[in-house]
């Protein structure tokens, strides 16, 4: 795709289940649902939905089942592993793919399975999602490198810290892209720095994988990614599967953090012979449908071309940064120069002067059918840093939370794009934000102190009219 060609870039690149659904609005009308929350979770690609429906006809237990369907399902599960590995440039001879629920589980697994000496350090950054921060705090000493004024990872500071700490750094653990500002980490440079210092590189790929091609490279390549964590539900396969891709050698040793069925060669009354990877690290019955869905999504993304995914998104991000900059009173977080849109993903966080972020999100939903997210996006240290919230102010907010008042929790609004997003979506957002900034919204929004969220007075849509389990 030519990124300079608006007509092409403004069409969706891929089609998703429910992409044309109408949702109820405050004024009684229905409007097209504008999904600008793909950084949290993406809808299923139609190819994934249809493939899953087809597979369900053949679904059965995997691994030890003797029947035809079990054999077929086992092959599909193994093929899914190979497809995930191939998509990220991982060779299954020396690497393994461990399926689990999501990125969080993958990162927790690695934090349990990576042997750490007491004096070793995990070098990470202030940009991290809590999923790439809290697991490490449980297991070792974590040092965080700050961000630059524009919100990007400070590579010079990281290099300096690596020089300072030397061989004590066991792992450099960074996000591939921020879930707040969208800035993309310089992975090749990080890999070189980490490996020169004798450390390994972990990339939290939750936010990068949906937007850019990731090549883990060979295990002897200085620009390799040693460990990669990803989520299927952020890659158009919301069926409960994610993965950790790691060197086979590491996961051939040690005892998994979860133990039970499916991971052993033999159990006696007082001994266990663990299986080889990947089985050793997949306790219990696996989510076969989730793994198949994940593979279907990656196949479809490969068919569309990750270079086209990137070009589509860069165009939309440029367009959005230009349009949003004209909204009165808006403050965009991070590097908001449209000319540098290629260095970030289509994740845009912002504040509107004088308007609480949760209220802005509520108005966007009720009056424009736009789905965004408000809050701190599970990246509290980064958001507090970007917003310049002092330690004293943080203490005050903590006290207020303890008193069940979350109305002062700092936060922003986040809009994020997927392959189904279009210029119309950006226009809808920019127009609605201008309407809010100019106080032209219709509803009255009530604050709920314990949650800090807002609800439109007198508007309680009946979900049962759309989907119900009863």
Q: Given the rule CB under 6 A, which residues bind ligand PLP?
A: 102-104, 129, 131-132, 175, 179, 204, 206-207, 231, 233, 242
What are the DSSP calls for 223-248, one per residue?
A: T--SEEEEEGGGTT--SS-EEEEEEH
Question: Please, what is the minimum distance in Å from the beta carbon of residue 244 to ligand PLP?
Answer: 11
Q: 51, 385 in Cβ contact below 8 A?
A: no
CA distances from 268 to 254, 256, 265, 271 (A): 18, 18, 10, 5
Question: Please, what is the minimum distance in Å from the beta carbon of residue 109 to ligand PLP?
Answer: 12
Beta carbons within 10 angstroms of residue 300's beta carbon: 20
Q: Annotated catalytic residue: which of 183, 376, 378, 423?
A: 378
Question: Please, what is the minimum distance in Å from the beta carbon of residue 414 to ligand PLP?
Answer: 10
Residues 343 and 210: their CA atoms lie apart, in Å, by 15
Question: Please, what is the minimum distance in Å from the beta carbon of residue 364 to ligand PLP?
Answer: 20
Q: 165, 142 in Cβ contact below 8 A?
A: no
Residues 191 and 448: their CA atoms lie apart, in Å, by 46
* DSSP H helical ranges for 44-67: 46-56
Question: Please, what is the minimum distance in Å from the beta carbon of residue 393 to ligand PLP?
Answer: 25
Closest to ligand PLP by CB, 346 vs 456, is 346
Q: What are phi and psi of 45, to 5 degrees?
A: -65, 145
**In the annotation, is 378 catalytic?**
yes
Closest to ligand PLP by CB, 234 vs 355, is 234
Closest to ligand PLP by CB, 104 vs 308, is 104
Q: 50, 245 in Cβ contact below 8 A?
A: no
Closest to ligand PLP by CB, 87 vs 382, is 382
Closest to ligand PLP by CB, 135 vs 256, is 135
Task: Find the angle CA(235)-CA(101)-CA(383) to the nearest 5 degrees.
Answer: 70
Active site residues: 378
């Amino acid at each position: 795709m030519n990124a300079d060609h608006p007509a092409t870039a403004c069409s969706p690149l891929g089609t998703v289940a429910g992409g044309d659904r109408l949702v109820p609005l405050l004024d009684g009308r229905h409007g097209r649902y504008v999904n600008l929350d793909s950084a949290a979770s993406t809808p299923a690609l139609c190819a994934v939905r249809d493939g899953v429906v087809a597979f369900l006809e053949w679904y059965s237990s995997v691994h030890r089942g003797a029947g035809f369907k079990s054999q077929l399902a086992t092959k599909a599960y193994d093929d899914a592993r190979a497809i995930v590995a191939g998509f990220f440039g991982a060779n299954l001879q020396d690497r393994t793919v461990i399926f689990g629920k999501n990125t969080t589980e993958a990162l927790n697994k690695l934090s349990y399975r990576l042997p750490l000496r007491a004096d070793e350090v995990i070098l990470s950054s202030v940009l991290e999602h809590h999923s790439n921060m809290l697991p490490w705090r449980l297991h070792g000493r974590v040092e965080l490198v700050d961000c630059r004024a524009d919100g990007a990872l400070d590579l010079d500071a990281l290099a300096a810290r690596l020089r300072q700490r030397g061989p004590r750094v066991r792992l450099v653990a960074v996000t591939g892209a921020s879930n707040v500002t969208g800035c993309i980490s310089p992975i090749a440079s990080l890999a070189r720095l980490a490996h020169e210092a004798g450390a390994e590189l972990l990339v939290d790929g939750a936010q990068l994988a949906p937007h850019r091609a990731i090549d883990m490279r060979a295990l002897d390549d200085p620009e390799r990614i040693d460990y990669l964590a990803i989520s299927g539900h952020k890659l158009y396969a919301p069926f409960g599967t994610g993965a950790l891709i790691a060197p086979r050698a590491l996961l051939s040793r040690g005892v998994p953090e979860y133990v039970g069925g499916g991971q052993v060669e033999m159990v006696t009354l007082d001994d266990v012979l663990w299986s080889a990877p990947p089985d050793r690290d997949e306790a219990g019955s696996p989510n076969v449908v989730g793994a198949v869905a994940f593979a279907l999504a990656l196949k479809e993304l490969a068919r569309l071309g990750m270079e086209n995914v990137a070009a589509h998104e860069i165009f939309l991000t440029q367009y959005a940064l230009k349009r949003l900059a004209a909204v009165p009173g808006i403050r965009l977080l991070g590097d908001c120069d449209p000319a540098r849109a290629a260095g970030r993903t289509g994740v845009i966080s912002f504040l509107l002067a004088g308007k609480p972020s949760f209220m802005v999100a509520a108005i966007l939903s009720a009056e424009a059918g736009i789905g965004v997210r408000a809050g701190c996006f599970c990246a509290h240290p980064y958001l507090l840093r970007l917003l310049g919230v002092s330690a004293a102010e943080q203490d005050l907010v903590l006290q207020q939370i303890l008193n069940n008042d979350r109305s002062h929790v700092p936060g922003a609004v986040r809009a994020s794009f997927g392959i189904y997003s279009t210029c119309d979506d950006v226009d809808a957002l920019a127009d609605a934000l201008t309407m809010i900034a100019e106080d032209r919204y219709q509803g009255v929004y009530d604050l709920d102190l314990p949650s800090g969220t807002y609800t439109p007075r007198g508007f309680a849509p009946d979900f049962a009219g759309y989907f119900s389990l009863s």
